[in-house]
Chain A
Amino acid sequence: MTPRSPFQITRAVIFALLLREMRTRFGQRRMGAFWMLAEPIIQLIFMVVVMGLIRGRGPTQGIPFPVFVLTGVAPFVMFRGVAMLIMEGLSANRGLFAYKQLTPMDTFVARTILQCSIASISYVFVLAAFAWYGYDVSISRPLEWIGLLILGVALAFGLGMVLSVVADAFPEIRTFVRFFFLILYLSSGAMFPVTSFPTYILPYISWNPFLHLTELLRQAVFPFYRMLDLVSFPYVAGTMAVLLCVGLGLFRVRKSKMLAIKGIV
């Protein structure tokens, strides 16, 4: 066998992992392929409908409420999925590191690709359903929108890396991570506009990069969207850069410790 280049090995391993993770999700229940897509779609629609019923009010800035919610919730759910899957990536694939070509980073990348693909496809389906129902779902600046989504995925990747290192060192923290994401979710303005919060909270939740990201995304989708004044693109880009650097750096330092089997944890 001719030796493969590092790139060829990585590509082959990521492809193998992608197929494996996908088949695993297919195989866990009957009609797995259907549910893999249907589940996020139903979640999104459910979220939008329930929020609409609870709020029971008219359009925000002239945007129908379901469309408004969808443009925030769908990206956030994708970002959260990426971060959570990366955090669990090591422990879920521990048995696989017996195959030397396979490194933890491969599992992170494969999981990110899979999560983004599933989220994108289900988003397209929901958009199609909305369009069929009669909503205007056009995106006014698609390139900017896609760029922001990529930025968000990079941010989530960095966050996931940091969390995976932290969760490895202090496994007890896992309990709080869900809670932490719930706070991020509620304060991201994805489900309802943050303008409905009391004003004195705004300075605190302006730390949440996902709030900035959600607002920026909405601005890219709707032609005449007025963002909150506090939104800053440099803040999101900076957070992304810092999280990514810290996450990758920590991971490089802790890698062999993280791969070690620790007895009880």
Chain B
Amino acid sequence: MFTLDNVTKSYLTTSGRRYIFRNLSMVVPPDKNIALIGKNGAGKSTLMRLLSGVDSPDSGAIRTDKSISWPVGQAGGFQGSLSARDNVKFVCRVYGHVDDDMREKVRYVQEFADIGSWFDEPVRTYSSGMRSRVAFGLSMAFDFDYYLIDEVMAAGDNSFRKKCEEVFRDKLGKSKIFLTTHNMKEVERLCDIVLLVDSGKLIVYEDIAQGIEAYRSK
């Protein structure tokens, strides 16, 4: 369950302060796969960042009793001059996986990313595809109650995408997802409720079809 309590978030631009959310309060029902949809620039990614804790609101609070992943497939936390192996090890240590546990996770990511000997080269030398392979593998190596996904499914080639879907189906048995996407097919296939972001408001639709309809009519 997520609770947003009087959340205000703005960004400073050259033309002044722009508010994305103003005094937003809501409760997202527990144990549902959530789709976050809305037009470009409506604030989907901002909300995602706020939920993941990468960004914090100007005022207000966001609470949850579940463990939430970092945005799946985000490579922002990677240190460019370190190899993928070192980056993966770093995250393992932060999450308290050491020794055998860590070795197992590193092996998992290495196999999943499948980028051969590049795994030991500095991340800054990777192509964006390679980077997202490692980042996605890293997210899948850890268990969370909620996975935050920001249009990651679009990344990678065909075979990789198939592999992602497989792992994902597996994960969905135990975990829930919080998905941002423009692909309504994915919403229908994966999610139980729809959150529509529109001009600083969040509307919850328990019925998927209704939510998609509302999105299309915007």
Contacts and interface: CB of A to CB of B under 8 A. Distances in A.
Interface stretch (A46-54, A191-199, A213-221, A256-264): A256-264
A223 interface: no
Contacts of A91: none
A101 B94 contact: yes
B122 interface: yes
A239 B184 CA distance: 61
A23 B13 contact: no
B23 interface: no
Nearest to B49: A261
A1 B12 contact: no
B91 interface: yes
B104 interface: no
Interface string A78-109: 00000000000000000111111110000000
Given A12-B94, A98-B77, A264-B14, A20 B55 contact: no
B70 A98 contact: yes
Interface string A3-30: 0100011001101100110011001100
A253 interface: no
Nearest to B98: A12
Contacts of B56: 256-257, 259-260
Question: Secondary structure of the B side of the interface?
Answer: loop
Given A98-B76, A99-B77, A260 B96 contact: no
B82 interface: yes
Contact of B81 (A12, A27, A265): A27
A97 B91 CA distance: 11
A102 B96 CA distance: 12
B71 interface: yes
B81 A28 contact: yes
A1 B101 CA distance: 11
Contacts of A264: 12-14
B151 interface: no
Given A98-B71, A99-B95, A262 B12 contact: yes
Contacts of A262: 11-12
A20 B96 contact: no
Contact of A8 (B49, B74, B89, B96): B96
A98 B54 contact: yes
Contacts of A23: 82, 86
Contacts of A12: 93-94, 96, 98
A20 B86 contact: yes
B51 to A, nearest CB: 11
Nearest to A262: B12
Given A95-B76, A98-B77, A263 B13 contact: yes
Contacts of A95: 76-78
Contacts of B76: 95, 98
B94 A102 contact: yes
A95 B122 CA distance: 17
B193 to A, nearest CB: 24
Contacts of A98: 52-54, 70-71, 74, 76-77
Contact of A24 (B57, B81, B98): B81
A20 B81 contact: no
A1 B96 contact: yes
A8 B96 CA distance: 9
A235 to B, nearest CB: 38
Given A20-B82, A97-B53, 7 more contacts: A12-B98, A19-B93, A27-B81, A99-B94, A99-B95, A256-B57, A262-B11
Interface of A: 1, 4, 8-9, 12-13, 15-16, 19-20, 23-24, 27-28, 95-102, 256-257, 259-265
Nearest 4 A-B pairs (CB), nearest first? Answer: A263-B11, A16-B93, A98-B70, A95-B76
20 contacts: A4-B96, A12-B98, A13-B93, A15-B93, A16-B90, A19-B90, A27-B81, A27-B82, A95-B76, A95-B77, A97-B53, A97-B54, A98-B71, A101-B96, A259-B55, A260-B56, A260-B57, A261-B55, A264-B12, A264-B14
Interface of B: 11-14, 18, 49, 52-58, 68, 70-71, 74, 76-79, 81-82, 86, 89-91, 93-96, 98, 122
